[in-house]
C-alpha cells in the first residue's frame, strides 16, 4: 500500500454490528474490522465505540488517523445528511437527533460524512460494483427490512428532506399486510427476508403439507433451500416473493426508469434461479421500453457495499466539497 495513496474509512452502523473498512479511492477494501454495536448502552456509548473502532482499524493497518482523508458513516434512517444527524433509528434505543458527524469529527478530527445505509450501499455498487457502468440505478436491500437507494445522473438522490428512496415503503397492495412501519401493503411487508418467513409461517399454521412444517426458527434461506429441494409449498412462497418484488420493481421502473436495479442483502442466497424469476416477471409486467433498457442484477460488493459506499461518499465529499 503506497503511503501516497489516499485512504478512507467506511463505517456501516447496524443495530447489531459495527462494520468498518479501510478503503482506497478506487473502492478496494484494504482492511476490515467488525465489532458489536452494543446499542443497548445508548448513543454516546455507540459513538465512542465507532470512534475507537476507527482508531483500532488504523492501528491494525499500520497507519495513523492523519493518514485517513475522510470517514463515511452509513446509518439507518431517517437522517439529516446535510447536518450528519440520525433523526431516529428504530432498532437502537435512544437514537433521536443524534449528531453523528459532529461527535465523530470531534473524536477523530477528520472530515466526516453521514449517509443513509441503503443509499450508501447503492453508491458503493454505483462507484465500483454492479452499477459501475451506469449513471442511473436503484438498489433494493432485501434483508430484515427492505431498504432502497437511488442514484440519478451519478449522484445519490435523497429528496427534498432526505426521505426519498424509502423504496420498501411503497405500497404494492392497498389494504394488504401490515408493515413494521405501520402502513398496510408496503413492499417490505411482502418481499423482505422477514416477510418471506412471516408469510411461510402463517401458511404453515393453516396446516399445509411441507418439509418445513413443524420446524421452528425457519429462516428465509430455509424456504429457498426447501423450494430448491422440490418442496411445492416452499416453491409457491418463492414464486410469490418473486412476483411481489417484480411488481414493486415495475412501479419503480415506471417512476424512475433506471438503467439498472441492483438487489442485495440476505436474499442474495436465493441465487440466480430466483433472480431470473424476478427478471421474467418484470419483463412480462413493465412497459417494454422501461424493462428492456433496465438490467436487474445481484450486488457485486455484497456485504461490503455499505462500507465501500460510505467510504466513497466521504471520498467524493473530500474531493468535491459536495455531497456525493
Contacts with its own copies by CB under 8 A lie at 78, 87, 135-136, 148, 150, 152, 157-167, 169-176, 181, 183, 185, 190, 243-244, 247-248, 250-259, 285, 287, 289-290, 293-294
- Residue 288 CB, nearest approach to its own copies (Å): 9
- Residue 222 CB, nearest approach to its own copies (Å): 25
One DSSP character per residue, 67-114 reads: GEEEEEEEE-SSEETTTTEEEE-TTSTT-EEEEHHHHHHHHH-S-EEE
- Residue 120 CB, nearest approach to its own copies (Å): 17
In the structure grid, which three cell numbers stand for residue 302, read together?
455484497
Nearer to its own copies, 12 or 136 (CB): 136
Nearer to its own copies, 171 or 218 (CB): 171
CA dihedral (250, 74, 92, 53) positive or negative: positive
* Interatomic CA distance for residues 114 and 81, integer angstroms: 6
253, containing H or E segment: helix 232-256
> What is the DSSP code (8-state) at residue 297?
E
In order of 130, 225, 273, the CA distances from 12 in angstroms are: 19, 29, 29
- Residue 71 CB, nearest approach to its own copies (Å): 26
- Residue 293 CB, nearest approach to its own copies (Å): 4
Nearer to its own copies, 229 or 255 (CB): 255
- Residue 243 CB, nearest approach to its own copies (Å): 8
Of 81, 91, 89, 66, give the one whose Cα is nearest residue 149: 81
* Interatomic CA distance for residues 267 and 224, integer angstroms: 9
CB-based contacts of 16: which residues, under 8 Å, 6+ apart?
36, 37, 39
* Interatomic CA distance for residues 27 and 128, integer angstroms: 6
- Residue 261 CB, nearest approach to its own copies (Å): 12
Amino acid at each position: 500500500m503506497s503511503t501516497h495513496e489516499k485512504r478512507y474509512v467506511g463505517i456501516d452502523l447496524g443495530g447489531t454490528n459495527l462494520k468498518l473498512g479501510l478503503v482506497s479511492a478506487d473502492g478496494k477494501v484494504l482492511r476490515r474490522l467488525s465489532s458489536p454495536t452494543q446499542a443497548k448502552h445508548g448513543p454516546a456509548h455507540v459513538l465512542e465505540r465507532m470512534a475507537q473502532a476507527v482508531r483500532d482499524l488504523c492501528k491494525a493497518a499500520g497507519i495513523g488517523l492523519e493518514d485517513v482523508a475522510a470517514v463515511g458513516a452509513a446509518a439507518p434512517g431517517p437522517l439529516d445528511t446535510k447536518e450528519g444527524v440520525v433523526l431516529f433509528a428504530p432498532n437502537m434505543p435512544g437514537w433521536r437527533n443524534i449528531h453523528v458527524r459532529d461527535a465523530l469529527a470531534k473524536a477523530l478530527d477528520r472530515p466526516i460524512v453521514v449517509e443513509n445505509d441503503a443509499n450508501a450501499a447503492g453508491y458503493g455498487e454505483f462507484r465500483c460494483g454492479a452499477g459501475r457502468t451506469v449513471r442511473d440505478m436503484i438498489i433494493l436491500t432485501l434483508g430484515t427490512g427492505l431498504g432502497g437507494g437511488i442514484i440519478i445522473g451519478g449522484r445519490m438522490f435523497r429528496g427534498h428532506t432526505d426521505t426519498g428512496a424509502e423504496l420498501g415503503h411503497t405500497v404494492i397492495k392497498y389494504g394488504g399486510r401490515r408493515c413494521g412501519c405501520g402502513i398496510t401493503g408496503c413492499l417490505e411487508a411482502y418481499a423482505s427476508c422477514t416477510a418471506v418467513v412471516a408469510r411461510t409461517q402463517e401458511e404453515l399454521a393453516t396446516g399445509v403439507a411441507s418439509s418445513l412444517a413443524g420446524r421452528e426458527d425457519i429462516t428465509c434461506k430455509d424456504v429457498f433451500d426447501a423450494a430448491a429441494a422440490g418442496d411445492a409449498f416452499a416453491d409457491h412462497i418463492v414464486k410469490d416473493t418473486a412476483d411481489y418484488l417484480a411488481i414493486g420493481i415495475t412501479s419503480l421502473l415506471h417512476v424512475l426508469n433506471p438503467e439498472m436495479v441492483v438487489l442485495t442483502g440476505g436474499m442474495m442466497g436465493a441465487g440466480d434461479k430466483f433472480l431470473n424469476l424476478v427478471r421474467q416477471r418484470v419483463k412480462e409486467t413493465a412497459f417494454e421500453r422501461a424493462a428492456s433498457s433496465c438490467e436487474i442484477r445481484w450486488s457485486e460488493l455484497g456485504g461490503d457495499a455499505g462500507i465501500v459506499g460510505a467510504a466513497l461518499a466521504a471520498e467524493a465529499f473530500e474531493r468535491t466539497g459536495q455531497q456525493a
